[in-house]
C-alpha cells in the first residue's frame, strides 16, 4: 500500500525539474535526487518518504504512506519554501504526532519541487531501526 488515500483529495504537487539534495541530519546522510531517475511507490509521488525509502533510508510509515497516521513525522529544517503546502488532512494527522513543531511535516505528504536543497531531521522516537522480517 502506498501513494494516495482515496478518501481525501490529492494535494497539488510540483515535480522537480532539476537535481537537488536532501540531508538527513541525524543519519549524517545526504542523497542527491535526480528527477528523471526517481522511484515512486511510498507516499505521494516524489514525497520525502518516497525519496528516503528509494535511497534505503527507513522512515516508519504504519499507514503505508497515505496520510492516515502520523508515524512518518519529520522536522523540515531547511527547504520548506520548496515543498508542497501542508493540507488540512496532513495537519489533522500531525495533531496526533508527539513533539509537533512549526517545522513538522509528514514525510509521505511533503513533496519538494527541487528549487532548493532540504535538511530533514527524523525524530529519534520515529527511527525504526529494527523491523520484523529483516
pLDDT in tens, 41-52: 778 889 999 999
Q: Give residue-wise pLDDT tens across range 59-92.
A: 989 998 999 999 999 999 999 999 999 999 999 9
- The pLDDT value given to residue 134: 43
pTM: 0.87
* 7/36: higher pLDDT: 36
pLDDT in tens, 91-115: 999 999 999 999 999 999 999 999 9
Please choose, from the candidates 133, 120, 134, the residue with its C-alpha nearest in 3D space to the C-alpha of residue 59. Answer: 120
Give the pairing type, strands 20-24 and 118-121.
parallel
In CATH, which of 1.10.1200.10, 3.60.40.10, 3.10.20.30, 3.90.400.10 is domain 20-126?
Answer: 3.10.20.30
Q: Cβ neighbours of residue 99 under 8 Å, at least 6 residues apart?
A: 123, 125
Q: What pLDDT is stored for residue 4 in this prediction?
A: 65
Domain spans, the chain: 20-126
Residue given cell 546522510 in the structure block: 29
Amino acid at each position: 500500500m502506498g501513494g494516495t488515500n482515496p478518501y481525501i483529495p490529492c494535494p497539488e504537487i510540483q515535480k522537480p525539474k532539476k537535481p537537488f539534495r536532501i540531508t538527513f541530519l541525524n543519519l549524517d546522510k545526504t542523497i542527491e535526487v535526480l528527477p528523471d531517475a526517481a522511484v515512486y511507490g511510498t507516499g505521494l509521488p516524489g514525497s520525502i518518504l518516497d525519496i528516503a525509502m528509494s535511497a534505503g533510508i527507513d522512515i516508519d510509515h504504519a499507514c503505508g504512506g497515505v496520510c492516515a497516521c502520523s508515524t512518518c513525522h519529520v522536522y523540515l529544517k531547511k527547504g520548506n519554501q520548496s515543498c508542497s503546502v501542508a493540507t488540512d488532512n496532513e495537519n489533522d494527522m500531525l495533531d496526533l504526532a508527539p513533539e509537533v513543531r512549526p517545522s513538522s511535516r509528514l514525510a509521505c505528504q511533503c513533496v519538494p519541487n527541487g528549487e532548493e536543497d532540504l535538511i530533514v531531521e527524523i525524530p529519534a522516537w520515529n527511527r525504526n531501526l529494527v523491523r520484523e522480517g529483516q
